[in-house]
Structure 1
Amino acid sequence: MFSFKEIISVTLILFSVIDIIGSLPIIIDLRRKFGAIESEKATFVSGALMVSFLFVGEKILKLFGVDVSSFAVAGALIIFLLGLEMILGRTIFKSEVEADGAAHIVPIAFPLIAGAGTMTTLISLRTEYQTANIIVGIVINLVLVYVVLKSSEWLETRLGPGGLAVLRKVFGIILLAIAIKLFKTNLLPQF
Structure 2
Amino acid sequence: MQLNFKEIFTAFMVLFAVIDIVGNIPIIIDLRKKAGHIQSEKASIIAGVIMVVFLFLGKSLLNLIGIDVNSFAVAGAFILFFIALEMILGVTLYKDDGMGGMTASVFPLAFPLIAGPGSLTTLLSLRAEFATENIIVAIISNVVVIYIVLKTSHRIEKVLGANGINIIRKVFGVVLLAIAVKLFATNIKALFI
TM-score (norm 2): 0.96
Q: CA deviation at 1:67?
A: 0.4
Gaps of 5+ in 1: none
Q: Which residue of 1 aligns with 2:133?
A: 132
Q: Which residue of 2 aligns with 1:36?
A: 37
Query: What is the correspondence of 1:105-184 to structure 2 with a 5 Å cutoff?
Result: 105-184=106-185
Q: CA deviation at 1:96?
A: 4.1
Same amino acid, percent of matched pairs: 54
Q: CA deviation at 1:129?
A: 0.3
1:100-150 CA deviation, whole Å, 9 max, x = no partner? 131111111001100000000000000110000000000000000000000
- What CA distance in whole angstroms lies between the structure 1 residues aligned with 2:52 and 2:111? 14
- What CA distance in whole angstroms lies between the structure 2 residues aligned with 1:80 and 1:121? 11
Q: Which amino acid aligns with 2:182?
A: K
SS of 1:117's equivalent? helix
Q: Which residue of 2 aligns with 1:70?
A: 71
SS of 1:123's equivalent? helix
- What CA distance in whole angstroms lies between the structure 1 residues aligned with 2:101 and 2:158? 26
1:135-187 CA deviation, whole Å, 9 max, x = no partner? 00000000000000000111111111000100000010011001000111000
SS of 1:151's equivalent? helix
Count of residues in correspondence between the two structures: 191
- 1:75–1:121: 8 Å Cα contact kept in structure 2? yes
Gaps of 5+ in 2: none
Q: CA deviation at 1:24?
A: 0.7
TM-score (norm 1): 0.97
1:183/1:101 Cα in 2 relative to 1: closer, same or farther (>3 Å)? closer
4+ aligned runs moved over 6 Å, structure 1 = none
Q: CA deviation at 1:36?
A: 2.1
- What CA distance in whole angstroms lies between the structure 1 residues aligned with 2:164 and 2:123? 28
- 1:42–1:104: 8 Å Cα contact kept in structure 2? yes
